[in-house]
């Protein structure tokens, strides 16, 4: 079922927003925040739940951020420290895929982007912690636009982070055409050295993001994608099975366009002479 950024699908009466952000999930977030001195869970729920009705996923996240912000320190360093104190245990670092965490924790990224843009070093620390609970690819993009050199330098370390959610953020957050994400002004080829580190990652959650990233890039700079994939083939860093998988996934749009270079890298010969003869004998039947 296709869904837009408002989280509303095509099924009658179904709302992804209702499934993800409701009294139970907001209550769980309030319980986690109750570790903060003076935090009033009841006040928080009274502020946010009445505003959920009719709103989509992203709008409900903003409502949750409003509710938390009302009871957090105003100074960003103190706010970030409080938010980090509320985080649950990191997602299992031994998992390889399909461990997205709880959408409710995306609110930490909303507040990092809302209040930390003038405090990038501290905000990136918060995003690093938060992405180990839920992916922060939307939160990182305002920082890429405002502080590209700083973020890319930090991502050099993140690409080798022990936690695979941090490594995935490097690829996913810099995707040229991230669905529903704000546009980034970064040269689309700038993250390629980071993908060089990630392409042979042993976690499919990471390499799927790398392939999706290259598929995005193939719509803008197809030659750069072919060049990178060719270099990865020659490096031998991947197993043949993983090399073939990431190549197919990264070139899926280029293949649909029938690009000879993409077909060639996948083992097809677009230059072979083909002779065809068609004999068509139509038969029409009434009714």
Q: What is the CATH number of the domain that holds 194?
A: 1.25.40.290
Q: Which domain holds residue 253?
A: 72-265
* Domain assignment of residue 61, yes or no: no
Question: pTM of the full predicted structure?
Answer: 0.88
* Reduced 3-state DSSP string for 129-172: HHCCCECCHHHHHHHHHHCHHHHHHHHHHHCCCCCHHHHHHHHH
Residues 6 or more apart in contact with residue 7 via CB below 8 angstroms: 15, 16, 17, 20, 56, 57, 58
* Domain assignment of residue 67, yes or no: no
* Domain assignment of residue 47, yes or no: no
| Overall number of domains in the chain | 1
Tens digits of pLDDT across the chain (287 residues): 334 455 554 445 678 999 999 999 999 999 999 999 999 999 999 999 999 999 999 999 999 999 999 999 999 999 999 999 999 999 988 877 777 789 999 999 999 999 999 999 999 999 999 999 999 999 999 999 999 999 999 999 999 999 999 999 999 999 999 999 999 999 999 999 999 999 999 999 999 999 999 999 999 999 999 999 999 999 999 999 999 999 999 999 999 999 999 999 998 876 777 778 888 888 888 87
* Domain assignment of residue 2, yes or no: no
Helix (H, G, I), strand (E, B) or coil at 101: strand
Query: Which of 200, 160, 155 is closest to 173 using CA atoms?
Result: 155
* Domain assignment of residue 29, yes or no: no
Lookup: tokens for 55: 């709103």
* Domain assignment of residue 5, yes or no: no
* Domain assignment of residue 143, yes or no: yes
Dist. CA 44–CA 39, nearest whole Å:
8
* Domain assignment of residue 21, yes or no: no
């Amino acid at each position: 079922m296709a869904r837009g950024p408002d989280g509303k699908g095509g099924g009658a009466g179904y709302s992804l927003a209702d499934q993800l952000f409701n009294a139970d999930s907001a209550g769980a977030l309030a319980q986690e925040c109750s570790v903060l001195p003076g935090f009033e869970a009841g006040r928080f729920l009274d502020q946010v739940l009445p505003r959920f009705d009719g709103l989509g996923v992203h709008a409900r996240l903003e409502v949750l951020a409003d509710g938390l912000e009302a009871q957090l320190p105003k100074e960003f360093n103190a706010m970030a420290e409080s938010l980090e104190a509320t985080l649950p245990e990191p997602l299992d670092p031994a998992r390889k895929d399909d461990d997205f965490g709880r959408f409710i924790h995306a609110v930490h990224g909303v507040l990092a982007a809302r209040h930390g843009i003038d405090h990038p070093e501290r905000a990136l620390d918060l995003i690093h912690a938060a992405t180990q609970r839920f992916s922060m690819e939307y939160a990182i993009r305002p920082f890429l636009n405002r502080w590209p050199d700083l973020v890319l330098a930090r991502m050099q370390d993140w690409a080798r982070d022990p936690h695979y959610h941090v490594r995935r953020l490097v690829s996913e957050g810099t995707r040229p055409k991230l669905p529903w994400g704000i546009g980034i002004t970064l040269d689309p080829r700038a993250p390629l050295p980071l993908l060089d580190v990630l392409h042979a990652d042993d976690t499919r959650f990471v390499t799927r993001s790398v392939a999706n990233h290259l598929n995005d890039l193939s719509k803008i700079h197809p030659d750069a994608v072919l060049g990178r994939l060719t270099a990865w083939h020659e490096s031998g860093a991947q197993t043949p099975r993983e090399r073939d998988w990431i190549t197919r996934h990264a070139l899926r749009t280029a293949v649909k366009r029938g690009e000879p270079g993409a077909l060639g890298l996948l083992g097809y010969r677009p230059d072979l002479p083909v002779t065809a003869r068609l004999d068509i004998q139509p038969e029409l039947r009434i009714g």
